[in-house]
Chain A
Amino acid sequence: MTGDAAGLRRRTAALLAAHPPAGTGRLDFLRARFDAGLAWVHFPEGLGGLGLPRSLQAVVDAELEAAGAPGNDPRRIGIGLGMAAPTILAYGTEEQKRRHLRPLWTGEEVWCQLFSEPGAGSDLAALGTRAVREDGGDWVVNGQKVWTSSAHLARWAILIARTDPDAPKHAGITYFLCDMSDPGVEVRPLRQITGEAEFNEVFLTDVRIPDSRRLGGIGDGWKVARTTLDNERVAIGGMRLPREGGMIGPVARTWRERPELRTHELHQRLLTLWVEAEVSRLTAERLRQQLVAGQPGPEGAGMKLAFARLNQEISGLEVELRGEEGLLYDDWTMRRPELVDFTGRDAGYRYLRAKGNSIEGGTSEVLLNVVAERVLGLPAEPRTDKDVAWKDLAR
């Protein structure tokens, strides 16, 4: 392990010597870093990694940060890094991996996720977007997707579509890599309760996808999508935060700076939430330590639940704390932000945006079922749709 770390430091130093950050363009540096296997060391050699334990990435990151090297702005390309990449790595052909992973990691090509539909939310496997194959050639896709972050910026999408309506719903799905520049792809902003449109609706009309962009087998799409969704939860649960690093930070600062706003009732609620935020932070830290120690536990399943509730309660408290100012809102202008910042803007925005935290990436209600069934082993919900052909389901 320490030998690996020393080797990584040498490799990083060699990269920095060959491509000094000061005299190298950002993209050139990122490409060189990828080619040196220092992008994500747990990926295989030749695909931006070195086949080393994931925990060693921190060694590289620390060296590069100290040298002032440019990063790949992971928040802008989170869907590509956190969801598309691990799925392509697990199920992609060699050609797909070589074509897509490098520009995905450098951020040259942004990815989005075409999963949810108006009629398939929590019940994602009921999705109705159709992909029909033309005489053993291209697939032709028709349907509507929704809640698509970054679709207006994306060059590529991970897409799941129904290829066999006669099979039960989980069995008739196939996974594709969809070119968002295809003329049949129409992206429309979806305005939210915050006033802005960070999500989109995506309409797919006769979109042609070559069979070479199918990921995994025909009809295996649900299994492939599970890899994507499991990685989404890992990405949400794996953060490392300092004390007051989350939503509690802004309200704690307001409390300190604005003594005239303080009341006894709000003080009790603030302290209770501060304690819960600190304990959630410790829980996330404990989960991180478990992952580093190679003892992953089921705790990650609960982290999103906890953060969603806390973000909502804390931001709600802050609106109240601000009193008369809490009646105001900074800006209702319809905008399309490139980045989503849950703790950005003012208290009113934070309050409204946090409402999405218990819906996006799996509703809290569904996650409670997941915990109850997969962690506690309680009986599953009764199923009436499991062995019925998708086309015969009521909708």
Chain B
Amino acid sequence: MSTQPDLLYSEEEEALRAAVRDLLADHCDAAGVIARTESDAPHDVAAWKALTDGMGLAGLLIPEDLGGQGASHREAAVVLEELGRAVAPVPYLTSAVVATEALLECGAGNLLTRLASATRVAALAVPLSTAAGHAHPAVRREGGVLRGRLTGVADAVAADVLLVPADDGGLYAVDAADVTLTPQSSLDLTRPLASVTLDGVSGRLLGDAGPAVRRALRAGAGLLASEQLGLTEWSLTETVRYLKERRQFNRPVGGFQALKHRLAQLWLEAVNLRAAARGAADALATGEDVDVAVAVAQAFAAPVAVHAAEEAVQLHGGIGMTWEHPAHLYLKRAKADSIAYGTAGAHRAALAERIDLRAP
């Protein structure tokens, strides 16, 4: 590795962050997100329209000649930090990153143009738990039609198009209207899963599933670290704020050394996670050292985000256990994220090969 990754944020990236944060402050308040989780429409369509129609963010990774922004993973990572901080129920990671990367690999220009303008939302129909390079289910293709059932597909109910791997090695685009989507009761209420049943749908061949799915899941894992950074930052910031205010024993609770040390540890983890997440985003943008940078970021990020959310629940005391307080949304997202696109253990195992620290 000759050069060091650029781990800072550019002025443009900071401006993008400020704009997304402003928008989410208007659209994604915690009470609204909680209420939506129990409605028939778990996704926040208004926030999604504002992010995509208003700011063009669905097309960040799509080249300008296909109607996108021609930006990079560095900018998409900044958007995901803010979406994580707001635990926003929008299909950004699943459509604007994962499905987009699969379509880029397939050179599916028409569909990419529709994704860039957000006239279409897409979802890659593999279980959210799948790590890049690992086996995943595929539907059967026989007699020119697709049949089968795929489970654990994130944000499928928000998608117009599903990207379906079939047992002939192809990746097919299938209209959501032509399949049966069955919502699954999901741990993470803000990124709901669904099963997808195909019963003799023809579909449109996009390309080889193998490289497309691998690329999509790798980018998803790498940028998920930035979402996990956002979750971590919210948990830390909100807990510090609360503990300065909350008084017991005639003192602010945040003055007790046992709690101060836990929060300082959490801050240290967040500082480290920022470097790891920036490292992965920069590697995806430059194409250098991608496999190691993504595996390092995911192996590190998952336990940190879960720890932060668990500390937020614990240190809020009883209120952290209530449905009304948003801490549980972060805990559920962080725990689900620790499985999404491969567990920390799966990423460590991948790393063992890459860095030549092999198993016995």
Check B272 against A368 for contact (C-beta < 8 Å): no
Of the residues B1, B6, B360, contact of A267 by C-beta under 8 Å = B360
The number of inter-chain residue pairs (CB within 8 angstroms) is 125
Check B244 against A379 for contact (C-beta < 8 Å): yes
With contacts A259-B360, A278-B296 known, is A299 near B271, CB below 8 A? yes
Which residue of the partner chain A has the closest CB to B239? Answer: A376
- Count A interface residues, CB 8 Å: 45
Q: How far is the CB of A296 from chain B (nearest CB, A)?
A: 12
Q: How far is A252 from B260 in the complex, measured between Cα atoms in Å?
A: 35
In the complex, what residues of A have CB within 8 A of residue B251's CB?
379
Check B274 against A305 for contact (C-beta < 8 Å): no
Query: Does chain B have a CB within 8 A of A193?
Result: no
In the complex, what residues of A have CB within 8 A of residue B345's CB?
268
CB-contacts of A264-315 with B (<8 A): 264, 267-268, 270-272, 274-276, 278-280, 282-283, 285-286, 289-290, 293, 295, 299, 302, 305-306
Query: Does chain B have a CB within 8 A of A205?
Result: no
With contacts A274-B351, A279-B300, A379-B244 known, is A289 near B261, CB below 8 A? no
Query: Does chain A have a CB within 8 A of B243?
Result: yes
Q: How far is the CB of B302 from chain A (nearest CB, A)?
A: 11
Which residue of the partner chain A has the closest CB to B276? Answer: A279
With contacts A270-B357, A283-B271, A378-B244 known, is A275 near B348, CB below 8 A? yes
Q: How far is A19 from B271 in the complex, measured between Cα atoms in Å?
A: 46
Check A290 against B8 for contact (C-beta < 8 Å): yes
Q: Mark each residue of chain A from 367 to 392: 1 if its CB lies under 8 Å from any CB of chain B, else 0.
A: 01101110111111110000000000
Q: How far is A136 from B352 in the complex, measured between Cα atoms in Å?
A: 69
Check A289 against B355 for contact (C-beta < 8 Å): no
Query: Does chain A have a CB within 8 A of B299?
Result: yes
Check A279 against B359 for contact (C-beta < 8 Å): no
CB-contacts of A232-285 with B (<8 A): 243, 252, 255-256, 259, 262-264, 267-268, 270-272, 274-276, 278-280, 282-283, 285
Interface centre among B254, B263, B268, B359 (most CB of A within 10 A): B268
Query: Does chain B have a CB within 8 A of A211?
Result: no
Check B7 against A285 for contact (C-beta < 8 Å): yes
Check B264 against A368 for contact (C-beta < 8 Å): yes
In the complex, what residues of B have CB within 8 A of residue A360's CB?
none
In the complex, what residues of B have CB within 8 A of residue A295's CB?
8
In the complex, what residues of A have CB within 8 A of residue B261's CB?
365, 368-369, 372
With contacts A275-B296, A282-B275, A283-B272 known, is A372 near B1, CB below 8 A? no
Of the residues B260, B276, B357, contact of A368 by C-beta under 8 Å = B260
In the complex, what residues of B have CB within 8 A of residue A369's CB?
257, 260-261, 264
Check A371 against B357 for contact (C-beta < 8 Å): no
Check B267 against A371 for contact (C-beta < 8 Å): yes
Query: Does chain A have a CB within 8 A of B74?
Result: no
Interface of A is mostly: helix
Check B360 against A368 for contact (C-beta < 8 Å): no
Q: How far is A377 from B348 in the complex, measured between Cα atoms in Å?
A: 36
Of the residues A256, A264, A286, A379, contact of B359 by C-beta under 8 Å = A264
CB-contacts of B229-273 with A (<8 A): 240, 243-244, 251-252, 254-255, 257, 260-261, 263-265, 267-268, 271-273
Q: How far is A252 from B1 in the complex, measured between Cα atoms in Å?
A: 18
Query: Does chain A have a CB within 8 A of B39?
Result: no
Q: How far is the CB of A370 from chain B (nearest CB, A)?
A: 8
In the complex, what residues of B have CB within 8 A of residue A283's CB?
271-272, 274-275
Query: Does chain A have a CB within 8 A of B279?
Result: yes
Q: How far is A381 from B251 in the complex, measured between Cα atoms in Å?
A: 11
Of the residues A274, A280, A379, contact of B254 by C-beta under 8 Å = A379
Q: How far is A63 from B5 in the complex, measured between Cα atoms in Å?
A: 24
Q: Mark each residue of chain B from 339 to 360: 1 if its CB lies under 8 Å from any CB of chain A, else 0.
A: 0000001001101100111111
Which residue of the partner chain B has the closest CB to A293? Answer: B8
In the complex, what residues of A have CB within 8 A of residue B359's CB?
262, 264, 267
Query: Does chain A have a CB within 8 A of B335?
Result: no
Q: How far is the CB of B147 from chain A (nearest CB, A)?
A: 40
In the complex, what residues of B have CB within 8 A of residue A368's CB?
260-261, 264-265
In the complex, what residues of A have CB within 8 A of residue B254's CB?
378-379
Q: How far is the CB of B315 from chain A (nearest CB, A)?
A: 12
In the complex, what residues of B have CB within 8 A of residue A302's CB?
267-268, 271
Of the residues B265, B279, B348, contact of A282 by C-beta under 8 Å = B279
Which residue of the partner chain A has the closest CB to B243? Answer: A378
Listed in ascending order, the chain A residues whose CB lies under 8 Å from chain B are: 243, 252, 255-256, 259, 262-264, 267-268, 270-272, 274-276, 278-280, 282-283, 285-286, 289-290, 293, 295, 299, 302, 305-306, 365, 368-369, 371-373, 375-382
Given contacts A264-B360, A275-B299, A283-B272, 9 further A-B contacts (CB under 8 A): A252-B355, A262-B358, A275-B348, A279-B296, A302-B267, A371-B264, A376-B264, A376-B267, A378-B240
19 residue pairs bridging A and B, Cβ less than 8 Å apart? A252-B357, A262-B359, A267-B359, A270-B357, A271-B299, A274-B357, A276-B272, A279-B272, A282-B272, A282-B278, A286-B7, A289-B6, A289-B8, A306-B268, A369-B264, A376-B240, A377-B244, A378-B260, A379-B254
